[in-house]
Amino acid sequence: MLEVEGLHHTYAPHRGLLRHLVRSATEQPVAALTDVSLTVGAGEIVGLLGANGAGKTTLIKAITTLLEPDAGTIRLDGRPVRADDPLVRREIGLVQPDDRSHYWRLTGRRNLEFFGSLAGLGRDEAARRADEQLRRRGLADRDKLVFGYSSGMRAQLALARALLHDPRLVVLDEPTRSLDPVAAGEVCDDLRGLADEGRAVLLASHRLDEVTELCDRVVLLADGVVTWSGPTAGLGTDAERLRASVVRRVAGPDR
Amino acid sequence: MIVTGERERLRAIVRRDVAILRTYQLKVYVSFAQSIGFVVSFYFIGRFVGEPDALADLDGGYFEFALLGVIVTSVIALALREFADNIATEQRGGTLEAVLVTPTPFWTLLVGGATVSVLITTVEVLLLVGLGFGVLGVTPSVGALLWSVPLLALTFVCFAAVGIAAAAVIVVVKRGDPLAGPVSQLTALVSGAYYPVSVLPGWLQPVAELVPATHGLRGMRELTLAGAGPGAMLDDLVVLVLMAAVLVPAGLWAFGRAVRSARRSGTLGTY
């Protein structure tokens, strides 16, 4: 379903006049992704593990068309993933870690209806699916402006938004970061359910337990390079050895 | 059901903006009150100035002359700032990336995002026309007012193109729009919004001809204040069409380039 092949991206500082007008995040070129390849099949959950700055979010941005990589290809069901192809973008659902990604002056329901319409749903269908997602995520009876939501509620709303248009690929960047253990467990169950329905799920997380329990395969990133990928069982089963194994593989050469 | 047209997306953006605006209603009332206050000030300036010789060819006095300047200036201000402001608001609010993940073309976001403001400004213009011409000044014919609409609309489109280019700058540099302010100032200086172009120094008057507002204002004044027929504004209308034909593709091209650049640097959503 999702095939990423030979992805390269370097964050470069601004050049020319722009260099004097806007400060770049970096003064020197930073290789964020180097020859990154991975696949996520239909019905599969692939975990993306890595330390902060390993390149997980850059990779997710590239897969969701928010970033145009320097080189490499991304395909979904054989179709190139490009920003100017609305058909392929329609098949992607993204859960961002930033809970500011909703309109705080709208209710949760209005947020979902709005994003549903942008995703290509008719107004009635967007309203119906918004209602369904709100009930499923325990937000139906708390339909207030989003600025009154807790972090956990906003995380649930982000998941609802990503699933609203029934995408074939669901990409999640730390979806359970703000959730209590019970809600996080429910989300994990939901992700399993999504995969069982035939969707491809790519999950970036810092929670080793979550990734090892939920994911079929794991990709470890360090300094923009895939340091290991394979079935989750390949990481080992003993908790301490597993942790040591992952830490060693995601530490990168400078850590 | 998946709908393929952009109409539902545009409607959704309008519904979003109306819903958000309803949580900030005072902003609209304050804006209307400011515009009315501005027009009333010009009414008293007009009474003080009387009917200057430079405006002898026009029906009415300075107030009617300046009223059209106020209306066109407010439309220009909207056109120049709305697109960049919308992009900046989405960037700062953190919603731009969430919107861009959806299969929504950028032009839909630009047009849809400006729609509610355009509607509000239209109401404001109607209010000012009613107050200014109907209550305080000379009343032009309905035909003259209707013929003025395409001139005003084309003036808006020309400046909207500059506004879209300004939004392109904001996509890349995030803050510090270098276009809207200078273009707005140059327009106020040379377009004849508050005084006739004829009072400008001779070397500056040709510059006025390069500014779309000069043509919009001249045509509208011919129609509403000089009592001329639609034929009198044809030249200005053609010039505005030509300017729009150059400026709109240029603005969209700049915006496309900026989005591509931000996509390559991964900074679409940062501010």
**A241 pLDDT exceeds 80?**
no
Whose tokens are 């209603």? That residue is B25
CA distance A102 to chain B (A): 6
Gap between the Cα atoms of B265 and B271, Å rounded: 13
Q: How confident is the model at residue A255 (pLDDT cuts 50, 70, 90)?
A: very low
Contact B103 A106 (CB under 8 A): no
Per-residue pLDDT of A100-135, as tens digits, reads: 889 999 999 999 999 999 999 999 999 999 999 999
Is the Cβ pair B98, A161 closer than 8 Å? yes
Cβ-defined contact of A100 to B3 (cutoff 8 Å) = no
Q: What's the rounded Cα separation, in Å, for the pair B105 and B119?
A: 22
3-state helix, strand, coil in chain A (%, to 5): 40, 25, 35
pLDDT tens profile B47-68? 898 888 878 777 778 898 999 9
The answer to whether the Cβ–Cβ distance between B98 and A101 falls below 8 Å is yes
Considering only the beta carbons, identify the residue of B2, B19, B174 that sits closest to A110: B19
A253 pLDDT more than 60: no
By C-alpha distance, the chain A residue nearest B18 is A106
Phi first, then psi, for residue B19 (nearest 5°) are -65, -40
A-interface mutation test, from B102, B179, B257, most A Cβ less than 10 A away: B102
Q: How confident is the model at residue A28 (pLDDT cuts 50, 70, 90)?
A: confident
The pLDDT of residue A175 is 84
What's the confidence (pLDDT) of residue A24?
66
pLDDT one-digit tens code per residue, B107-163: 899 999 999 999 999 999 999 988 888 777 777 888 888 999 999 999 999 999 999
First and final C-alpha spacing in chain A? 34
For the ranges A62-71, A186-195, B56-65, the lowest mean pLDDT is seen at: B56-65
A119–B19 CB contact, under 8 Å: no
Tell me what percent of the residues of chain A surpass a pLDDT of 90: 53
Structure tokens at A219: 């990709």
Q: Which residues of chain B have pLDDT under 70?
A: 1-4
Name the closest residue on chain A to residue B264, using Cα atoms: A68
Taking 90 as the threshold, does the pLDDT of residue A25 lie above it?
no
pLDDT for residue A139 is more than 90: no
For the cut 90, the answer to whether the pLDDT of residue A236 exceeds it is no
- Examine the predicted complex and report whether its ipTM is higher than 0.90: no
Q: Which residue of A has its CA nearest to B268?
A: A66
CA pair distance A252, A248, nearest whole angstrom: 8
Pairing of strands A169-173, A200-204: parallel
- The answer to whether the beta carbons of residues A29 and A12 sit under 8 Å apart is yes
Of A64, A103, A125, Cβ closest to residue B1: A125
Q: What number of C-beta contacts closer than 8 Å exist between A and B?
A: 117
Cβ count near B174 (within 10 Å): 16
What pLDDT was estimated at residue A72? 95
Report d(CA B69, CA A26) in Å as an integer.
47
Q: Which of B19, B94, B173 sits opposite A22 (nearest CB)?
A: B173
Compare all CA atoms of chain A with the CA of B263 and give the residue at the minimum distance. Answer: A67
Instruction: Tell me if B123 sits within 8 A of B28, measured CB to CB.
Output: no
pLDDT band at A207 (very low <50, low <70, confident <90, very high): confident
User: Could B9 and A117 be called an inter-chain contact, meaning their C-beta atoms sit closer than 8 Å?
Assistant: yes
